[in-house]
Structure formats: C-alpha cells, structure tokens
Structure 1
Amino acid sequence: MNILTQNFNTAYHTPPFENIKNEDYLPAFKELISESEKEIDEIVNNSEEPTFENTIEALAYSGEKLDIVSNIFFNLNSAETSDELQQIAQEVSPLLTEYSSKISQNEALFNRIKKVYDEKSKYNLNEEQQMLLDETYKGFVRSGALLNDSDKEKLKQINMDLSVKSLQFGQNALAATNAYFKHITNKEDLAGIPDAILEQYAEEAKERYLDGYVVTLQYPSYVPLMTYAENRELRKELALANGKKSFDRGEFDNQNLIKEIISLKQQKAELLGYKNYADYVLEERMAKSPTKVLDFLNELLVKAKPYAEKEIEELKALAKADGIEDMQGYDHSFYAEKLRKAKYDFNDEELKPYFPLSQVQDAVFGLANQLFGLEFKEVNTIQKYHADVQTYEVYEIQEPKAENQVFDSAHTHNQQSTTNNRQLKAILYTDYFPRKGKRAGAWMTSYKNQFTKDGENSRPHISIVCNFSKPTKDTPSLLTFQEVTTLFHEFGHAIHGMLANTQYPNLSGTSVKWDFVELPSQFLENFCYEPEFLKTFAKHYKTGEVLPNEKIEKIEQSKNFMEGYQTLRQLGFGLLDMAYHTHPEDVNDIKAFEDAQTSKTSLYPVNPETAMSPTFSHIFQGGYSAGYYSYKWAEVLDADAFAYFKETGIFNPETAAKYKILLSSGGTKDPMELYKNFRGSEPKVESLLKRAFG
C-alpha cells in the first residue's frame, strides 16, 4: 500500500514525511494522475446539461490529492533534495505536464465550460463564482483549447520540454553552487571578517574533515566574505567563482538551456496567437503589456540613476583612499559596509547579537497577533522532513488587541487565548538553515491550499524556508538586519496564505495576479524600521539589553542606504527579463545579450568571465518569466499601503482590519479593486519615490 495515495492518518492530515520513501513517489503520481483523469471523465460524461456546479465548480475541486502530493514532492525537491529525488523529478515532470495538457486540451470538457461561460447571464453567480468562471474559461483558452489538433499536440510537447528544461536549469544552478568551496588555512587571509563568521567557516571545514576554514557560495557564507574581507584578491576570487556558476562551459553550464527555454516560450506564445511570451504573460497581470512595464521601469531608472551614481562616487572615494583606482563590482559590498559604518556607526555583525532568530520569529508572530489576531503554538505532533524544521498550529482570535495596548512579542508564542472564539487557522512549518540538499534563497510555499467545500473550511498548510546562519555550540543563530527583513518578507507571504478565506482552492491565498503577490511580503518589511516595534524584540541575546536608541535611529536612517544602487540592480534584472521574453531572436551570445540589456543599469566595469543569467532561476526555473518587474511594481503598492498605516497609526485596528480583508480575499477580486477598497484610491508611484529618495 502506497502511503501517498491514502488519506493521511496524521495530525490535521499533514504530510507523513517520516514515512514517505522515495520509491513511493513515481507510482503514487501515476495512480493519482489516473484518479484525477477519472474525475475529469465524470465531469465530461455527465448526462446532465453543463451547469456552473457540475462543470466549473467540479473542476475546481478535482485533483485535490494529486495537488497535495505534487506540493510535497516539489517542495522537498527544493528544500531537501538528493540525486535520487532529482532523478524522480525528471520522470515526474513530463507526466504532470502531459496530464495538465490532457485537461486543458480536452475538447469535450472545454465545450461544457464554454457553454456555461456563454450562458453565464442565466446563472445567479456571486462575485467569486464569476471570477472562477472567467479564470477557468481564460485558462483553457490560454492553454490552447481553441487550437486545432495538430497545434494542440505541438503545445503539449512544448510544455513537456519546458518542464524538463526548467527543472534541469535549477538543478544545474544548485549543483554549481555546491561544487565550489574555498579552503583557507591561513587565518591572516581572512583579516577583517568577524569572529562569529570565522567560527562558521571553521565549522564548515570540520564538516568536510579539513583544518582551518572553508568558505562556500551559499549566501550566509559568501556574503559576509564579500562584505568584510580586507583581502581584495580573495574577494575577487570568490566573486569570480560565484559569477562563473553555470557559465563556465562545464558540466553544469546553463547557457544552451537558456536559449532552449526562451525559444520554447516564444514558440508557445506564437502558437497561442501572441507576439511574444511577455505579451502572453502580461495579459493576466496588473501591468497588462510589455510597453507599460518598460515605461514603468524606465521611469524609475531615470529618477534613480543620479542617486545611484552619487552613491558609487562616494564608494570610489573610499576605495581611492586605499589606493584602488579601478574599483570593481567585487569591491562594492566591502566599501558599502565601510561607508555605512562611517555614516551610521554600525555594521551587520555588531547588530547580530540583538537579533537571535528565536526573538525575531517571536516578533513577527507578535506582529501577526497585534494586527490580525493570530496566535502560534509550537507542536511536536506534526511530522517533519528534517530535524531543523519546526511546526506550529496557528489560531485566529476574533478580537485583536486594541491599538494602544502594548504587546511583548516574546509572550505571544505558545500563549493560550482567553477568548472562547479561537479557531485553527493554519499549520505552519519553518525551515531556517542551509544544507546541501536545499537550494539557495528564501521562499514561502504551501503544502495544501485553503478552500471551503460542503460547509467545511479546510485550512492551509504553509511553509517558510530560509538559509540563515546555523547556531554553533556557543552561539544561537544570529541574523543580520537584512536577514531580519528577509524573515519578515517571507512571513508576509505566509500571512497571505494563512488568512485565506475563499471558496475555491485556485483562488485562495497567494493565488493572485503575479505582480500583486509581493505586496503582503514587502509590506511587512516596513515594520522592521519602526522604532517602537524594533524596541520590543531587538535585545542582546546574552544580556537582554535593548538595542540602544542611537542604533535604532541609525537603522531607520540607513533604510535607504544605497537605495539608488539597489534600485538600479533590480531594474537591470527586470529589463533583462523583459528583453529575454520580448526579443528571444536576439539571443545568440548569452553574455553579450545580458551586457547589452543591463548597460544602462551597470555601475561597475563588466567582467567578461562572469554572467548572472545562467543562475537567474527566478525567470528560467521559477514563475517570474516576464514578471521580474513585479518586485518594483509591488514596492509601489507596499510603499503606498504602509504610508496609509503611518497616517492612521501603524497598529491601527481599523486599518489592519481593512488590510486583512485584502489578504483573505486571495484572487476572488481584481487586485486593483481590492487595493482601492483598502486604501480608497489607486497606489501612487510618488509613495515609493518619497520613501526611497525623500
């Protein structure tokens, strides 16, 4: 009996991670695909006339078990992968793509959907039902339902090829990251690097049975070296290794895969009647068109570039004082940190003792309690896929605390509510530390979406995955301030998922327009810079001393430090993404194409041996193809939304209640309508410019 095909006999029907074997996956996928296809056959073969209930709604609820097993498998393939799991992924991805194509190109099913869609005026549909009907119909059309049989077959093959090649791209990028390490035996070579980081490097060396120190290309290892190492040659060597990942014509090179992926996307777009893949994608985004995206990015570029150039001149002056006349990209973090320390008298390492992971997590839990009435209780009855993972029951209290009630974030964790109206809202998994089987970066994901069926509101299972420094035998996990904002960012996504309160799973939680999805995450980061909130949790892990006021003021003042540079960097990624997906025919040489597209945003000499495209997983593996601009787009939304909170009081219960409606609504309404219902007006780009540049 395959455990993945049975009803999970676990707490809250959560995944039985500890009992799943790798050999369970492939047969489970085959069986569940077959079961899901039978559900589709039942809809198609229903002798009754097509209706909203027996066609649209039945389709929305179909394939539930397959979705859950897919979520388990692909989440683990990102967070706890292995060679065996990656091999299974190569076999499973084409099966799922073929299954998806069978549904989207099922002519009899589409005919039923089209009949309901064409006759929708006769149904008394509410707003969410209307959205489900529209999205279902459009989804089928955009998946090729109106194509002839020959073109449907072409599209099916394209989708299968894309799924395999995108997966391979990510596996190559991860393998290239893991393949490199720098072994250092002379401590003097690591001059300038704080003791806590040296301890981390020593631990890494021990794990590899080596003396001295080991630096890797994993974020918590690489970034501190680039920030603090006085040894310029060492910084150069690491930067070169990082920039060569999947760009060295070696085993894990991704250059040909990039060309193949963008070519397949262009073929798909043309087959479906679009000029290019960006046109295809943006039809279903807030931005609507490549022209609007490029206008948006270029408007920000014009306004941000003078600030960025001024920032770099300041850094070059510092470098020149050290005898460096030709400042390079690998010098940026080192001199940016020097300048920040000179201007604001702190560095990340001296702040880290005030931000132990446990306190920061309690703070974000406390904020969710303050704004949205959520409580978190750690439990050990939910199975985990790794010992580092922690699990929580999340409850909702119907009466959030009053605005003027001071809260202590340390006491919201495990707190039992005194109200009788306390209900389970979600299950939360947290997974914070890097390891060989986990890809780089940070993300929020879902094992199970929220939905309502037969009168029961089925709650979601949400996960946050990060790569923070591991605790050592002497020190807990201590976060840089940037990592503090990262945790708040991912938790913003998690709140979006946990507060979901919709009828249908495919309109629930983060199932919103892609350029709207970053609003909740980026919005929550703003609280990290609010002094009254910071004081509740920024406390020294040894002494309990609250972060001194002057340091808090420096953090607040430093919020926009290097904002011009960071803005140009993001705009460069956005412009490069749009270029790949509007002009794939121009992509002959990956490096030359990348350099041409980012020339307006590049502020340092370009290194001919490095490129970022071969590890640009957001657009070649993830879902940000023709959508990377959405980070900046969402910054306009989050700046405008937080400005509203600042106007009314950052813990104002009425403002929070309106924002909670926006979050819980998922994709049931047009995002601009949701935003205007919350704010009272459309977002203004001036809110972002004012926050960034004053």
Structure 2
Amino acid sequence: MTHSITRISSQEALVDLHALPQFSKISPVNIVQSVQDAIAKCKDTVESVVENGEISYQNLIERLDQADDELSQLWSPIGHMNSVLSSDELREAHDACLPLLSEYSTYLGQHEKLCALYQALQKSEHYANLSPPQKKVLDNAVRDFTLSGVALPADKKQRFAEIRSQMSDLSSTFSNNVMDATLHYSKHIVDESALSGLPESAKEAAAQAAQQKDLTGYIFTLDIPSYLPIMMYADDAALREEIYRAYSTRASSLDASNGKFDNTDNINKTLALRSEISQLLGFDNYSEYSLATKMAESTEQVIGFLEDLAIRSKPQAEQDVAELKAYAEKEFGVKELNAWDYTYYSEKLKQQKYAVSDEELRPYFPEDKVISGLFEVVSRLYSLTIVEVEGVDTWHKDVRFFEIRDTQVDGSIGGLRGSFYLDLYARAKKRGGAWMDECRVKRTTADGTVQSPVAYLTCNFNAPVGKKPALFTHDEVVTLFHEFGHGIHHMLTKVTVGGVSGINGVAWDAVELPSQFLENWCWEPEALAFLSGHYETGEPLPKDLLGKLLAAKNFQSAMQMLRQLEFSLFDFTLHQLPADAANVRKVLNEVREKVSVIMPPEFNRFENSFGHIFAGGYAAGYYSYKWAEVLSSDAFSKFEEEGIFNPDTGRSFLENILEKGGSQEPMELFVAFRGREPSIDALLRHSGITGDAQAA
C-alpha cells in the first residue's frame, strides 16, 4: 500500500514554526551586524565561563553549546540561502562574514585557559559521572583544541589564524567561481533538427528555459539536468563536444569566460596553506592531519584500501571499455571514441543489451509518487509517519516542508522526531549537486527543553514542464534516497547532546553510511512497486521494464568504481605531498595512468570545479564514499538475509546507527548492528564486480 502524503496546516504542526528561520525577512543589509553581535555574545560567554572557573560539564560545555547554537541558527539560513538563491548583495554580505566566523573559530580553538578547563574536567572525578555522549563531546573537544593549535607558540598561533581565515575565503571564492562559470555559459539553439536524438523531456525543458528568457527555440545550460541529456542522447557529435568542453573547463583559463572565473590560483594557494597548517601542527602532510578525526587509522591504510579496490575492478573495467569500443565500431563505424562519445555510445549499448533507457523509465517516476514511496520505505523500516506542513515561510515557492513523527503501535501518529525543507529543482543562482545540511540540531536547551532537529534537503532536478509533473530518472531517485538517508541520520537521533547529535561528531568516513545504505531500496522490486507509477495512468512499472532496470543495474559498474577511485586517489595523494611538489595536473595524470581506463583530453580541467575537496569538507577525505560504502553494503546484506522490510532488523539499524549519532565510535555502532566488523565482499557483490581477492 502506498504511503499517501498527509498535508496539514501550519496551525497543526508539532514543530514550533516561530522558531524556524524567517527566510522572507532575511535582508543582506542586516547580516554582517547580526553576525558580529552574535559572535560578540559568544565571546562574552567564553570569557564568563573562564572567569567562573568552575570545572563542570554545565559551566563549560552546556553554556558554550547554548551560545554557539544561537550563532549557528542565525548563520545557517544565511549560508543556505547563499547556496540556493544567491544574489550579488547576499553573496557580498555572506562572504564578509566568513573572516569573522573563521576568527571566532580560531579564538575558541586556541583559548588556552578554556582548553585547560576542558582538560581538567576530563581528568576530574566528575568525568566518570558523565553520560557516554557527554564524555564523547568532551573528548572530541580536547582533541580539537590540539588540532586548532592551542599549544603553538604565539607567533605560530597568529599564523595559524591567518591561514584558517585565508582558507575560508579561498573555499568561498572557489565555490562562487564554479557557480559563476556554470551560469556564464548557455547554448541557444533555434533549429530543432540540431537536437536529433534528444528525448522530448529534454527538449521541453530547454524550450521552457528559452521562453523564460523571451527567446524562441531552446536554451541549454551546464546544470546537470540540461547537460546530461546532450551527452547521453544528442546525435550531433559537434554539439556534444561543445557542451563537454564547456562543462569540463568550467572555472579554468579555458572556460567560456576566458579565465574570468579561473580557480587554478585558488587551488594552488589552498594546497600551500593546507600543507603549512598540517606542518604547524606536527603532521607530515594534510592527509595525515585529516585522518586525526576519521575512522581510518593511517594514510597507508587508506591508499591500500583504494588500490586494492582498483586492482579488483580494473580488469572488468577494461573489458567494459573494450566491449563499448567494439560496439561503436561495429554498429556505427566509429573507430575512435572521444571523451564526448563515451556517454552517448554507452547509453546506446545499454539500450541494446537491456532494452531500457532512463527516458523510458522517467514517466514512471513522477515526483509525488517517488516522494510518497520514499516515505513508505522509511515508514516500514522505522515505524514513522511523514506529514507535509503547508504555510511555512521558505526561500522559494517550490520548497516544501515536512515533519517526521513516530507511528504508535495502534497506527496513530505519535511525537515529533524532526522536520525538513525539501528543495528539489535546479534554477539559476543555485549551487549544483545535491546535499543535506543542518538547519537546527537536536539538543537540550538552557531551559531544559529538547530542541527538535530540522534539515535542508537539496537536489537539482528538472522542474515540472507545462502541465506535466516533475519526472525523475532512476538515478535521480537514487540521489533523493541518498540525501534523505543523511537527513534521517540527522533527524532521528535520540542523542540530545548537541556536539554528537545526529551527524555531529560522526567520523567523516562513516557519515555516508546511512545515505548509501538507503539507496539500496531503489533497486528492490518490493519497494519499486510503490515507488513507481506512470504519471498519466498510475500504472506501476511493468515487470519487463523492472526486469530490465535491475538487469542493467551494474552496467559498466567497474568503470564507475574506477572513476570514484580516481577522484579518491587524486585527492588523497595530492594532500600527501608538500606544497612545492603538489603539481595538480601531474598528480591527476599519474593517478589516471595507474587506475583509469579512460583518459580525458588534455584540455579537461575537472579539478577546477572539484568542489568536494576545494570548497567542501572532503579534502583528503573523498575516499570516505567508498569507505562508507563497504559499511553500507555489508549493513544492507543483513536485510537481504532477514527481509528487506524486516521490522526487527529495521529497528536494530535505527537504534544502533541512526539514533546514536556521533555518541560512539562508528565501528562500535556497526558491530553492535551487524555482529561483526565489515567485509568488503558485499560491496563487490552489489557492484557486480568479480575481482579476485587473490589479485590484491
């Protein structure tokens, strides 16, 4: 039975809507002063705590957590709006706050007297009386003081602060450049015959984009929903090449702006600063520094893990490429594949082998059916009810707001677990990609009440076109499940200590476990039965199409595995090198020669838009996706053994993983759920990779 979406008015909401951000009232004019005032209040609290000198959890951690949470709730909607509905004025105000926030973070992390009080509490008799989450917060804080340079001499402390501030600015500039370079390019096509091969959905979206600019014909951009159909379906190789060049050179000296948004210098400066900061703190390199807060125990372990996966995957990937080349030559007379040909001929080969395409499946994944199906999956797994709240203040008319509530034994709706904003569609001035972020964390406030968690869930899918609802590809359905997995990790936590509530305090190489785990249900026939339904007839995904979708699941999976390993090894290797030896192009090419089966053209500047590591939190940590996928695949194998909707297994995952947040080490939580440490076998099996363990 499909989980229909219950809609309620704002008056019926359980979350306090007055405590949510008032997006319509956020004005760039007031932002800088508001942030300055909030930081000043936080600093006053710190000095008061130090002056008090009381070595207690309440004086040290609870008082500071309250002040920092107020700052976070002020800054969160500002940072979020800058990502999803940016403007020149908002960007200017946002970027002006970054040095202020960086300076406060450094001030806090290098406060020797505050650190001494934390260390004293850790060694005091009070420590034994703290709850496990409280101990974890305290232990993490003491570790983080060291990583913030608290023990450095004064001159090096000052340099550390300068570096942190510069790194923050560079990260923002990098991200802005990618967005601006993406916006700068568009392709206006008047003659429909130039669009031979493109599905109607892509043409309709491009026509709508043109109409919005009062133009005839079609507008294509470098946003993924516009870019991908060209690469997959456009028969015109010259058009594919132009779009590929524009996309793969974004934010470089070769892009359409003639280098106006070039990130090359930002990358080199960032790498130099990361190298310097890691050496200031006594680490050999930034990769080593990065692992101080992760599950992985050494740089050798990470490199060994990635290279082992590459060795297991490469023979199959080479076979995939050979098959594709032979197919292109036999069927189309194409003797040599260019970079802009691989996706196009791969899609043709996939259709020949499995008689299925993303476009054929799209009508069966209308937005409301997918969302209600997603809610049904988590409802069955974790006994939850999700309701939509109407009349909530958001940043755009397309944004929706939902509450997650417990389902009682008798089926009635219980208490509030968390809430989330859902922003699904691509648009101008919105950062590309998909992500989950915190709006508010679950924590016990100063007056003893428990604050419910709130999340932002953001994607970049095609909006509805004309009278048609938004129709998703299966890949987009997987993306939505991935982000919702992050969301429920944040929202279903039972931990009320802010520092380890939800995703807080979770080792970065374990944080992808719940997101990748939830993706598995997108491939289960039992779930697809209520996840899909034709947008016009409501007809479920026909059995023959379902069979083809599942058969095609691991099409070129070894090639995809190597692509992720290429990114991971590039990132980790680059950050192992001293700044003067970190020649980005050289490192990337050396990694590609070692693990890749497709070499991009020389003009490709992928690294200049690699926001995960140069503008996000994945520097020397991109390997986390594969590391956590081992955990998620092995966790899901327990459901394969016991039933994919087994309520007891679902409850165990909820209680041992999702509800615990960062309150315990990830390996402890995994073992509590699985009964043993993880094995790589499930990942290889789920990926359809038969790499021989002996080969490693």
TM range (shorter): over 0.9
Question: 2:400 matched to which residue of 1?
Answer: 390
Q: CA deviation at 1:686?
A: 1.2
Is 1:447 aligned with 2:442?
A: no
Question: 2:114 matched to which residue of 1?
Answer: 109
Is 1:221 aligned with 2:213?
A: no
Partners of 2:600 and 2:208 lie apart in 1 by 34
Distance verdict in 2 for CA 1:306–1:452, change over 3 Å = same
Q: CA deviation at 1:354?
A: 0.2
Partners of 2:144 and 2:298 lie apart in 1 by 18
Question: 2:339 matched to which residue of 1?
Answer: 329
Give the letter aligned to residue 49 of structure 2: I
From 12, 18, 28, the counterpart of 2:24: 18
Question: 1:530 matched to which residue of 2?
Answer: 524
CA contact (8 A) 1:376 1:394 kept: yes
From 540, 543, 548, the counterpart of 1:549: 543
Distance verdict in 2 for CA 1:677–1:588, change over 3 Å = closer
Give the letter aligned to residue 666 of structure 1: G
Cα offsets for 1:656-688 (capped at 9, x unmatched) = 111001111100000000000011011101111
Aligned-partner SS, 1:472: coil
Q: How does 1:288-687 map to 2 (within 5 A)?
A: 288-321=297-330, 322-399=332-409, 418=412, 422-453=414-445, 454-511=447-504, 512-585=506-579, 587=581, 589-661=583-655, 662-687=657-682
Question: 1:282 matched to which residue of 2?
Answer: 291
Aligned-partner SS, 1:424: strand
CA contact (8 A) 2:574 2:582 kept: no
Partners of 2:231 and 2:581 lie apart in 1 by 31
Q: CA deviation at 1:181?
A: 0.7
Moved more, 376-385 or 512-521: 376-385
Q: Number of paired residues?
A: 667
Cα offsets for 1:109-145 (capped at 9, x unmatched) = 1111121123357642221122111101001111111
CA contact (8 A) 1:61 1:504 kept: no
Uncovered stretches (5+) of structure 2, i.e. residues with no partner: 1-14, 691-696
Q: CA deviation at 1:187?
A: 1.2
Give the letter aligned to residue 277 of structure 2: K
CA contact (8 A) 1:352 1:480 kept: yes
Aligned-partner SS, 2:372: helix
Aligned-partner SS, 2:618: coil
Aligned-partner SS, 1:392: strand
Partners of 1:660 and 1:311 lie apart in 2 by 38
CA contact (8 A) 1:575 1:598 kept: no
Higher relative contact order (CA 8 A, sep 6+): 2
Cα offsets for 1:446-501 (capped at 9, x unmatched) = 11011124542211111110011110113111001100100111111111111012
Q: CA deviation at 1:56?
A: 3.2
What is the aligned-residue RMSD (CA, Å)?
1.6
Aligned-partner SS, 1:643: helix
Is 1:87 aligned with 2:92?
A: yes
CA contact (8 A) 1:82 1:437 kept: yes
Partners of 2:428 and 2:502 lie apart in 1 by 30
Partners of 2:551 and 2:678 lie apart in 1 by 25
Give the letter aligned to residue 267 of structure 1: E
Q: CA deviation at 1:204?
A: 1.1
Q: CA deviation at 1:60?
A: 3.2
Q: How does 1:60-71 map to 2 (within 5 A)?
A: 60-71=65-76
Question: 1:262 matched to which residue of 2?
Answer: 271
Partners of 1:455 and 1:87 lie apart in 2 by 38
Q: CA deviation at 1:437?
A: 1.3
Give the letter aligned to residue 287 of structure 2: A
Q: CA deviation at 1:588?
A: 6.1
Give the letter aligned to residue 670 of structure 1: E
CA contact (8 A) 1:39 1:63 kept: no
Aligned-partner SS, 2:436: strand
Aligned-partner SS, 2:595: coil
Question: 2:77 matched to which residue of 1?
Answer: 72
CA contact (8 A) 2:516 2:632 kept: yes
Cα offsets for 1:201-258 (capped at 9, x unmatched) = 1111112222211111000000011000111111111111111111226110000100
Question: 1:690 matched to which residue of 2?
Answer: 685
Deviating above 4 A after TM superposition, structure 1's stretches of 4 or more consecutive aligned residues are 586-589
CA contact (8 A) 1:425 1:499 kept: yes
Question: 1:38 matched to which residue of 2?
Answer: 44
Q: How does 1:176-195 map to 2 (within 5 A)?
A: 176-195=181-200
CA contact (8 A) 2:314 2:558 kept: yes
Partners of 1:121 and 1:19 lie apart in 2 by 45
Moved more, 70-79 or 593-602: 593-602
CA contact (8 A) 2:385 2:404 kept: yes
Aligned-partner SS, 1:253: coil
Cα offsets for 1:84-106 (capped at 9, x unmatched) = 12111221000000011111111
CA contact (8 A) 1:10 1:382 kept: no
Question: 1:235 matched to which residue of 2?
Answer: 240
Q: CA deviation at 1:340?
A: 1.1
Aligned-partner SS, 2:406: strand
Give the letter aligned to residue 11 of structure 1: L
Q: CA deviation at 1:373?
A: 1.8
Q: CA deviation at 1:584?
A: 4.1
CA contact (8 A) 1:586 1:593 kept: no
Give the letter aligned to residue 542 of structure 2: P
Distance verdict in 2 for CA 1:122–1:580, change over 3 Å = closer
Aligned-partner SS, 1:55: helix
**TM-score, normalised via structure 2 length:** 0.94
CA contact (8 A) 2:314 2:597 kept: no
Identity of aligned residues (%): 37
Aligned-partner SS, 1:428: strand
CA contact (8 A) 1:587 1:593 kept: no
Partners of 1:47 and 1:552 lie apart in 2 by 65
Aligned-partner SS, 2:337: coil
Partners of 1:360 and 1:606 lie apart in 2 by 35
Give the letter aligned to residue 449 of structure 2: E
Question: 1:3 matched to which residue of 2?
Answer: none
Partners of 2:651 and 2:599 lie apart in 1 by 49
Q: CA deviation at 1:370?
A: 1.0
Partners of 2:371 and 2:174 lie apart in 1 by 33
Give the letter aligned to residue 467 of structure 1: N
Partners of 1:456 and 1:595 lie apart in 2 by 54
Q: CA deviation at 1:290?
A: 1.4
Partners of 1:261 and 1:551 lie apart in 2 by 48
Is 1:199 aligned with 2:192?
A: no
Aligned-partner SS, 1:604: coil
